[in-house]
Amino acid sequence: MAREGLKYAVPMAAVAVLSAVLGYHALVWTAALFAGAFAIFFRLPAAPATAGNGAILSPAGGFVIEVVREEEPVFFKTPAQRISIFMSPLDVHVNTAPLTGSVRYAEYRPGAFWRADRPEARLQNERMSVGFETETGVKCLATQVAGWLARRIVCDVRVGDTVRRGRRYGMIEFGSRLDLHVPEHARVTVKPGLHVRAARTVLAEVRP
């Protein structure tokens, strides 16, 4: 379980145990149900997939809702491809590095809390953007976007840190949305409607 989930799951588990001792059987099941739900919500992603050097792994679990080409003005500063992933409360909330390299850019922006699947959420909601770059110059920009339910973005890295593909770099509590910009010339391997897994699904491939 991700460490952020302990503050939710442990008290519920304690309530379940105490209720069992005191004989409040109905409360035992209710508290145990909540503890189990939090354990599921904050579960860790599977081990990173074995993929080629040019593979960009999904940094989030959820459904792909959009794949578009657009200008990316803050990190790439050129046209790029954006893959948007909607993370429901049932998906893994931990976010993982899409590639192995260094953190070259990080910016937090406060904002609103629209539903994450609404078009305005991408630019108006609270968000945290992290730019990654490999030793060979391949870039990715991952933007965690808060939603109406998920109002806590966690980012564990800062500019200058090194990351490994498929390893945790942050999370969004209770799901929401993550936008990943990849190079314009990358071959995107997913399309809208596909369910992807954090650290497991290859979203795009770039020739080394």
Asked if 83 and 182 touch (Cβ cutoff 8 Å), the reply is yes
Residue with tokens 């800062």: 158
Catalytic residue among 19, 58, 84, 176: 176
Contacts of residue 194, defined as CB under 8 A and 6 or more positions apart, other chains included, come to 63, 64
What tokens does 168 get? 């945790």
CA distance 163 to 56: 13
Active site residue 129: no
Asked if 61 and 92 touch (Cβ cutoff 8 Å), the reply is yes
User: CB count, 10 Å around CB of 78?
Assistant: 11
The 3-state DSSP class for residue 66 equals strand
Per-residue CA distances from 137 to 50, 51, 129 (Å) = 21, 18, 18
Catalytically annotated residues? 176
